[in-house]
Homo-oligomer: A and B are copies of this chain.
Amino acid sequence: MENGMEETLMFDKSLLSRIDFEERSKAKFHPAASPSNPGDSLVLRPLSTADFERGYCQLLSGLTIVGEVTPEKYLATFNAMKETGIYYATVVEDTSRNLIVATATLILEQKFIHECALRGRIEEVVVNKDYRGQQLGKLLMSVLTLLSQDLGCYKTTLECAESNIPFYEKFGYVKDKEVYMQNRH
């Protein structure tokens, strides 16, 4: 760790490059953008162990409380997530600054219903405020929605602020009649 964390990815990055993005993305990009071409000096890829040092947790703190996450705790959590094979934490790195500037995570949930189907959930969607208006949230949402479909999910769901409904509608999400309830312990 003295010389930087080893670069281990949370999932196979070819899953992202394999998506036939231009053909299938419901959201339109102006200027053109895709997973393999997110913008100047930007790279879209799976979360890496070394992203702890690239400010991944600071980025998440734009979303909610992150608290103190040590490198050891980050690695243990990363490894636990990777081991299950159901977490697809995806990031955009600005390689000119060695900085994670956007992220979203797809999580697969196994069901017995629908002939033992998978269901996708999208969580922790956040873009660094200096990088807003550069279509990075749109790119991540579009790619993770297609990835969820490619991985066999019969549906993908998320929870969002009322004001963000129009954003998510771009990718085919619709407000459901079910309501979201929570219980804080």
| Chain B min CB distance to A179 (Å) | 6
A43-81 CB contacts (< 8 Å) to partner B: 56-57, 60, 63-69, 73-74, 76-77, 80-81
CB contact between A180 and one of B67, B112, B154, B180 (< 8 Å): that residue? B180
Kindly identify which residue among B74, B114, B157 contacts A182, using a CB–CB cutoff of 8 Å: B157
Picked from B87, B112, B160, the residue with its CB within 8 Å of the CB of A110 is: B87
Q: With contacts A63-B113, A112-B77 known, is A181 near B175, CB below 8 A?
A: yes
Q: What 1/0 flags go to A137-169 for Cβ under 8 Å of B? A: 000000001001100011111111110010010
Q: How many copies does the complex hold?
A: 2
**Are the CB atoms of B157 and A183 closer together than 8 Å?**
yes
Shortest Cβ distance from residue A27 to the other chain B in the assembled complex, whole angstroms: 12
List residues of chain B with CB within 8 A of the CB of A168. Answer: 181
Describe A's contact surface by its main secondary structure: mixed
Interface membership of A129, Cβ < 8 A: no
Are B177 and A162 within 8 A (Cβ)? yes
How many residues on A have C-beta within 8 angstroms of the other chain's C-beta atoms? 61
Query: Is A20's CB within 8 Å of the partner chain B?
Result: no
Once A67-B114, A110-B77, A115-B68 are accepted as A-B contacts, the answer to whether A176 and B159 lie under 8 Å apart by CB is yes
Q: How far is the CB of A41 from chain B (nearest CB, A)?
A: 25
Residue contact B173 to A183, C-beta cutoff 8 Å: yes
